[in-house]
């Protein structure tokens, strides 16, 4: 599965971004460039799905794919070979990759799973009469959240456990058998200790990379299940209740977004924040990717939007310099980036060499 995920990223970048851009995407680097790449190349569902990926491991895996004849290129840029495209499209895992939702579930997933695991450990131990156990998570914020939910259900833990079992069972029925097994075996209870990812890898003959990716995919499926069925799984819904109203952007862009919402101009925001106007432009492009109702009229006319959209469609590229030159420099890089953000092109791009 990890191989297919990498092939998909390389293919969508079309040689217009470096191999490092793939690494930053998967590890969820909170930079304006990575977030914009994720949206522009329709890879936002992969954002942050493998935060623990080691850079050397990533580099070695790319070399391995090159040696196997699946990708071509150098350390800077790469593209899929015919063999790479054939491998990607013949595998059954391709459809499952679409179930990732990294940009939306990035923050939510980790907190939900950590809360759930600690809550299961806590209530199963206490219900079994064991009040002295070593918590599997020492994060004070997560412990505090679990403590509140425990006291809320303290009067009838058996009922609480039964409800949680039924809600999780409904979720697990919708997974493949191996996915359900991996999910369950990662939990620690009163009489069992959850398996590590290394143990899962050995037990089911999976690469460590595939275990990481499969685990994250299962977690995303859980979040999606809860959101779609929150009325039917009220206990599980509590684990993400305070996490859903969250716009994912860099901290700096968020500050500019707040000032923009208060009616400040770009120049005023730059002055207030002691930043360059170009930096605020970066923030506005980042905001545009997230806010679908973003009003472009302050920065570019409707005629300009249409001209840029037509140019992108005709050239079949997202390269800013190429687009700007074709439009005879009538529009700035900032304006072109805004249009790309609000109206992402749905075109099959030509294979191009270089940046």
φ/ψ of 79, rounded to 5, equals -145, 160
Please tell me whether the overall predicted TM-score, pTM, comes out greater than 0.85 for this model.
no
Q: Say whether 240 sits in a helix, a strand or coil.
A: coil
Q: Are 118 and 135 in contact (CB under 8 A)?
A: yes
Query: Kind of pairing, strands 71-73 and 78-80?
Result: antiparallel
The token pair that represents 72 in the structure block: 């071509």
DSSP 348: P
Integer Cα distance of 294 and 288 in angstroms: 6
- Residues paired with 71 in a beta bridge: 80
Integer Cα distance of 215 and 277 in angstroms: 42
Q: Which residues lie closer than 8 Å to 340 by C-beta, 6 or more apart?
A: 40, 312, 318
Q: Which residues lie closer than 8 Å to 302 by C-beta, 6 or more apart?
A: none
Query: Which CATH architecture fits 2-97?
Result: Orthogonal Bundle (1.10)
- Position 243 scores a pLDDT of 82
Hey, CA dihedral for 339, 342, 343, 348, is it positive or negative?
A: positive
Q: Which residue do the tokens 């994912």 mark?
A: 248
CATH class of the domain whose range is 251-342: mainly alpha
pLDDT digits (tens, 9 = 90+) for 85-111: 988 888 766 778 889 998 888 888 999
Q: Are 32 and 283 in contact (CB under 8 A)?
A: yes
Integer Cα distance of 229 and 167 in angstroms: 10
Q: Which residues lie closer than 8 Å to 260 by C-beta, 6 or more apart?
A: 269, 284, 287
pLDDT string in tens for the chain (355-residue length): 899 999 999 999 888 888 999 999 999 988 878 888 888 888 989 999 999 999 999 999 999 999 999 999 877 888 899 999 988 888 766 778 889 998 888 888 999 999 999 999 999 999 999 988 999 999 999 999 999 999 999 999 899 999 999 999 999 999 999 999 999 999 999 889 999 999 999 999 999 999 999 999 999 999 999 999 989 999 999 999 888 766 567 778 888 888 988 889 999 999 999 999 999 998 888 888 877 677 778 888 989 999 999 998 888 888 889 999 999 999 999 999 888 888 776 655 444 433 3
Q: Are 213 and 52 in contact (CB under 8 A)?
A: no
Q: CA angle, 211 as apex, 209 and 217 as ends, to 5°? A: 105
- Position 354 scores a pLDDT of 36
CATH 1.10.10.10 segments of the chain = 2-97
Integer Cα distance of 229 and 146 in angstroms: 22
Q: Are 24 and 34 in contact (CB under 8 A)?
A: yes
């Amino acid at each position: 599965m990890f191989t297919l995920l990498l092939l998909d990223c390389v293919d969508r970048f079309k040689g217009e971004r470096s191999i490092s851009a793939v690494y930053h995407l998967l590890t969820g680097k909170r930079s304006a460039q990575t977030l914009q790449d994720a949206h522009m190349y329709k890879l936002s569902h992969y954002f942050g799905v493998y935060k623990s990926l080691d850079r050397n491991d990533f580099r070695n895996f790319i070399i391995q794919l090159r040696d196997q004849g699946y990708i071509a290129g150098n350390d800077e840029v790469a593209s899929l070979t015919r063999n790479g495209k054939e491998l990607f499209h013949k595998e059954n895992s391709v459809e499952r990759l679409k179930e990732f939702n990294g940009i939306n579930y990035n923050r939510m997933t980790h907190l939900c799973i950590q809360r759930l695991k600690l809550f299961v450990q806590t209530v199963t131990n206490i219900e079994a009469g064991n009040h002295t156990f070593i918590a599997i998570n020492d994060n004070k914020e997560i412990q505090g959240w679990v403590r509140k939910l425990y006291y809320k259900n303290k009067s009838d833990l058996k009922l609480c456990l039964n409800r949680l079992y039924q809600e999780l069972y409904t979720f697990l029925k919708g997974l493949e058998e191996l996915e359900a097994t991996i999910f369950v075996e990662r939990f620690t209870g009163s009489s069992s200790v959850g398996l590590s990812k290394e143990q899962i890898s050995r037990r089911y003959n999976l690469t460590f990379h595939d275990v990481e990716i499969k685990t994250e995919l299962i977690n995303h499926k859980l979040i999606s299940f809860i959101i779609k069925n929150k009325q039917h799984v009220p206990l599980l819904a509590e684990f993400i209740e305070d996490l859903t109203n969250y716009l994912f952007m860099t901290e700096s862009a968020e500050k500019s977004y707040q000032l923009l919402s208060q009616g400040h101009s770009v120049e005023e925001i730059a002055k207030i924040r002691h930043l360059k106007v170009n930096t605020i432009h970066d923030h506005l492009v980042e905001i545009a990717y997230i806010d679908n109702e973003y009003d472009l009229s302050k920065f570019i006319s409707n005629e300009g939007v249409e001209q840029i959209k037509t140019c992108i469609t005709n050239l079949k590229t997202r390269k800013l310099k190429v687009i700007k030159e074709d439009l005879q420099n009538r529009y700035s890089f900032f304006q072109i980036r805004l249009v790309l953000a609000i109206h992402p092109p749905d075109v099959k791009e030509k294979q191009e060499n270089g940046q």
